[in-house]
Amino acid sequence: MPAYVLSRLVNALWVLFGVTTLVFFLIHWVPGDPVAVMLGESASAADAGALRHALGLDRPLPEQWWRFVTGVLSFDLGDSLYYRQPVFALLTSRFGATLELTAWAFLVAVALALPLGLLAAARKGSGWDSAAMGFSLLGVSIPNFWLGPLLVMAFSLGLGWFPVSGRDSALSVVLPAITLGTGLAAVLSRMVRSSLLEVLGEDYIRSARARGLGERQVLLRHALRNAWLPVLTLLGMQLGALLGGAVVTEMVFNWPGIGALLVESIQRRDYPVVQGCVLLISFVYVLVNLLTDLAYARVDPRIRLGGAGT
């Protein structure tokens, strides 16, 4: 177990290093000058040169990269070119909003997917099954940038139940969470149905039914418990992916999170903030997947993590 965890941690560090380095060079190669964005096109060459020197943008690219890498190792992500404050402080102020949205979207997904998956598996081939899988197909097909405005028009502008955008009240998170969680619910419900159908044909399920257990007990106490491993795998992967999906949703609903900050910083060529956002999202994604792997042993005792890394 310790050797496996150490191996996964080392791999995670390499992934973070590779992603951060790739993003660093890509954002610097994208056309556009952050100095021109900050001063405007009418700024003099002397003023632009002085600001570029003050920000360290006139130094060779490998030197800028090395300064960034060494700064990350000392937990110093640099200062924002636009906001003129530490990147770490910006990320800290925005991460809470993204975490709140992701948590609610995750709860929405689980609350929708589990009943639909259970119902579809228990009523295989019936109208309930078709309706549940139809919802799954619809949820996968509708992108967030279309579903979000549709919900705003229906429930904000039409009915006036929820705020249009922002994070000003407790109800502000409802529509963004539904928008972000619907796609995950669609995928998860299909996984729950598929896993349950595989388990329901096992001998111990027939034995449970032969003992007179009701269908609800068979599904919840025996089938779902043993079908949980692939569902847990998908949950871990999708929970990390929710952070990436939150970028579009946060822009649609003007949600003040990491995703909105990332898009704004790309438009402003704010290199340190873009790198910090990508590093944070990558770190959370890798961490969630690592925790998912470690949770396997709690769900299925047959798994031995000590031998999984070989």
Q: What is the DSSP string of 140-174?
A: HHS-HHHHHHHHIIIIIIIS--S-SSSSSSGGGGH
**Residue ranges per structural domain of the chain:** 32-76, 93-271
CATH 1.10.3720.10 is held by the domain 93-271 = yes
Instruction: Give the distance from CA 136 to its chain's centroid.
Output: 19
Is 108 in contact with 64 (CB distance < 8 Å)?
Answer: no
What's the CA gap between 228 and 234, in Å, rounded?
10
290: amino acid identity, one letter? L
First-to-last C-alpha distance (Å) of the chain: 12
What's the CA gap between 239 and 245, in Å, rounded?
10
Q: What is the pLDDT along the chain (310 residues), one digit of tens a residue?
A: 566 667 777 777 788 788 778 877 777 776 666 666 666 666 667 766 776 666 666 677 787 788 877 877 777 777 787 887 888 888 888 888 888 888 888 888 888 888 887 777 777 777 777 887 787 777 777 777 788 888 888 888 888 888 888 788 888 888 888 888 887 887 788 777 777 777 766 666 666 666 666 666 666 666 666 666 677 777 777 776 676 667 778 888 888 888 888 888 887 777 788 888 888 887 887 777 777 766 665 655 555 544 444 4
